[in-house]
Structures are given as C-alpha cells and as structure tokens.
Amino acid sequence: MKIFFILLTSFLLGSSLQAYAKKIVIGSFSSESNAKALVKKMPDTFVNYAELQTLLKKDDAVIHVRKNDKYYLVLVEIFSDKNILKKSFKIIKSKFKNAYINDAPDEKYMLQKAIKIQKLKEQMNKLKTEIKVKKEHIKKVKIVKIQIPRVKKKVEKVNEEKPFLEYINFTFLIVFIIVMSIIYFLVGLKSKYDEY
C-alpha cells in the first residue's frame, strides 16, 4: 500500500510540474494576407478589445499568424493561466463562433523546434555555399569547353602544316646530299686534273 501512495504522489507531483500550455485558434486561412488582415481588424472587431489586450499581457500571450502545413492559422498563444484563458476565450468566442481551445506546445518543445530550425537554416546556408562553388566550377568547365575547340583547330592547323615541313626537311636533305656529291665529284676531278 505504501508503494501505491508513493507512486500516486510522484505522479501527481510530476503532472503538477508539467507546464500548462494552451492556445486559442481563431481561424484558418489558405492565404497569409487574409490571415494578417483579420489580425489587423481585431481592434475594430471587439468592443472590449482593450480588456482582451490586458488579459493577454498578464499571461504573455500574443495574437499572431502561424503557418501550419498549407494553411495560415490566426492564434492566441501561449496561455499558462486557466482563468485568463477562459476570460480571453469568452471575449473571442463572442465574435468568432468557430474559435476553439487547443493544447499549445510547451517551452521545451518550442526550444527544440527553434534549435531544429536553426540547424536547418545552417544546412541551407552550407548548401547555398556549395551550390555557389559548384556554379563557379561549372563556369570554369564551360570556359575550358569553349577553349578546347579553339585549341583543337590550332593543333589541326599545325598538323596540316607538319607534313609540308617534313617534306621540306626531306627535300632539303636530298638536295644537300646531291650538292655534296657534286662538290665531292668536282673536288675529285680537280685532284685528278692536278695530277696530270
């Protein structure tokens, strides 16, 4: 029996330590501009808007627009006091019949979500940098690809001229041999002539 009371007490203490977090969903819109327009019109919508603002300030709750999947929600969040939530809901429900109360994520969840969002932003910035580097690399590759045909044309031109140069070198060698043979022959004739 003592174990049962200890477990019951620890459960009650644990549940009382868990933060009370609620929100009021006023409306849902497919367009962000429509949702923001509703928030702007709220001071004129409620006769007792000043009272609502006072209640919200007491509990640090705010009226704002948040994207949820493909819809934009007009929310009042985060309420940590039940009495303020009930009074605020009564004022809001007087003009918005479809408004409802829902659980709001606690601060720990919001902090974890903010950390995840920050990490995602850092990854996006890293990817943007990598994409920028790859784009510059692609530009360099394109420049090289553009220059390759020019170099090929120059090489082809040199290759076309090369056989002509080889022909000239071969011709020069043959002419040189013939001239040297003639000189040798003439020198040999002269030496025979000098002997007589």
CATH number, position 91: 3.30.70.1070
Residues 131 and 166 in one domain: yes
Cα(87)–Cα(74) distance, integer angstroms: 18
- pLDDT tens digits, residue range 145-181? 666 666 666 666 655 655 555 556 667 778 888 888 8
Identify the bridge partners of residue 25 per DSSP, sorted by sequence position: 75, 100
Which residue range forms the structural domain that includes residue 136?
Answer: 111-196
Residue 106: the pLDDT is 57
Question: SS3 string of 63-86?
Answer: EEEEEECCEEEEEEEEECCHHHHH
Q: Which of 83, 104, 125 is the last residue of a domain?
A: 104
Q: Which of 64, 82, 104 is the last residue of a domain?
A: 104
pTM of the predicted structure, to 2 decimals? 0.46
Q: Which of 72, 104, 136 is the last residue of a domain?
A: 104
Q: Does some domain include residue 14?
A: no
Q: Does some domain include residue 9?
A: no
At residue 162, what are phi and psi to the nearest 5 degrees? -60, -50
